[in-house]
Amino acid sequence: ALAEATIVKPLVPSLLTARDGNAEMRWEAMAGQGYVVPTDRFFVRNHTHTPLVDVDTWRLRLFGTGLRGTPTRDDPVEFDYADLRAMPAVQTSALLECAGNGRRFFASQQAHPTPGVPWGLGAVGVARWRGVRLSTVLRHAGLTDAAVDVQPEGLDPEYVTGGVNLGRVRRSLPIGKALDDVLLAYEMNGKALPADHGFPVRLVVPGWIGISSIKWVGPIEVSATALFSPWNTRFYRMFGPGHAADGRLVTTSVVKSAFELPWDARVPAGVDVLLHGRSWSGNGPIRAVEVSTDDGASWQAADLDPDDAGGAWQRWTAVWHPPGPGRWTLRARATDVTGAGQPDEAGPNELGYLFDGIVRHPVTVA
Ligand code: MTE
Ligand code: MO
pLDDT (tens digit per residue) in 16-37: 776 788 999 999 989 888 999 9
Question: Please, are residues 360 and 327 in contact by the beta-carbon 8 Å criterion?
Answer: no
Task: Please state the three-class secondary structure of 308-337 as a single string.
Answer: HCCCCCEEEEEEECCCCCEEEEEEEEEEEC
Domain residues of the chain, as ranges? 4-13+253-365, 40-249
Closest Cα to atom 12 of ligand 1: 214
d(CA 317, CA 205): 28
Which residues are registered as beta bridge partners of 275?
318
CATH architecture of 4-13+253-365: Sandwich (2.60)
- CA atoms of 174 and 204, how far apart (whole Å): 14
Q: Residue 358: its pLDDT value, please?
A: 98
State the average pLDDT for the chain: 95
Q: What average pLDDT does this structure show over 318-345?
A: 97
Q: What is the pLDDT of residues 81-122, one digit of tens each?
A: 999 999 999 999 999 999 999 999 999 999 999 999 999 999
- Amino acid at position 82, single letter: A
The pLDDT confidence band at residue 4, using thresholds 50, 70 and 90, is: very low
Angle at Cα 22 formed by Cα 2 and Cα 215, nearest 5°?
115
Residue to probe by mutation, ligand 1, list 128, 169, 173, 197, most atoms within 8 Å of CB = 169
The class of domain 40-249 in CATH terms is alpha beta
Phi, psi values for residue 35, rounded to 5°: -70, -45
Residues 249 and 238: their CA atoms lie apart, in Å, by 7
CA distance 209 to 178: 14
Residues β-bridged to residue 90:
131
* Section 309-320 average pLDDT: 97
Q: Which atom of ligand 1 is nearest to the CA of 42?
A: 24
- pLDDT for 11 beyond 60: no
Predicted pLDDT of residue 12: 67
Q: What angle do CA 102, 199, 352 make, to 5 degrees?
A: 15
The pLDDT value recorded for residue 351 is 97
**At residue 199, does pLDDT exceed 90?**
yes
Beta-ladder partners of 203? 184
Ligand 2 centroid–CA 297 distance in Å is 34
Q: What are the beta bridge partners of residue 204?
A: 183
Question: Terminal CA-to-CA distance of the chain, rounded, Å?
Answer: 13
What pTM does this model have? 0.96
Is there an atom of ligand 1 within 6 Å of 214 CB? yes
Task: Assign 278 to helix, strand or coil.
Answer: strand
Q: In one letter, which amino acid is 298?
A: S
What is the per-residue pLDDT across 213-228, written as a single tens digit (0 to 9) for each? 999 999 999 999 999 9
Whether omega before 246 lies within 30 degrees of 0, making that bond cis, reads no
Looking from the CA of residue 159, the nearest atom of ligand 1 is 6
Tell me the average pLDDT across 225-249: 96
- Contact of 158 with 167, CB cutoff 8 Å: yes
ipTM exceeding 0.90, yes/no: yes
Nearest CA, atom 23, ligand 1: 197
Per-residue confidence at 248, pLDDT binned at 50, 70, 90?
very high
Q: Which element (helix H / strand E) includes 178?
A: helix 175-178
For position 2, what pLDDT does the model report?
A: 43
Ligand 1, residue 198: give the atom nearest the CA: 23
- CA 59–ligand 1 middle distance (angstroms): 20
The model's confidence at residue 1, banded by pLDDT at 50, 70 and 90, is: very low
List the Cα angle 161/243/245 in 5-degree steps.
Answer: 60
Is residue 240 within 8 A of residue 349, CB to CB? The reply is yes
pLDDT at 33: 86
Residue 154 has pLDDT above 70, yes or no: yes
Handedness of CA 21, 123, 311, 348 (dihedral sign): positive
3-state helix, strand, coil in the chain (%, to 5): 10, 35, 55
How large is the average pLDDT for residues 50-60? 96
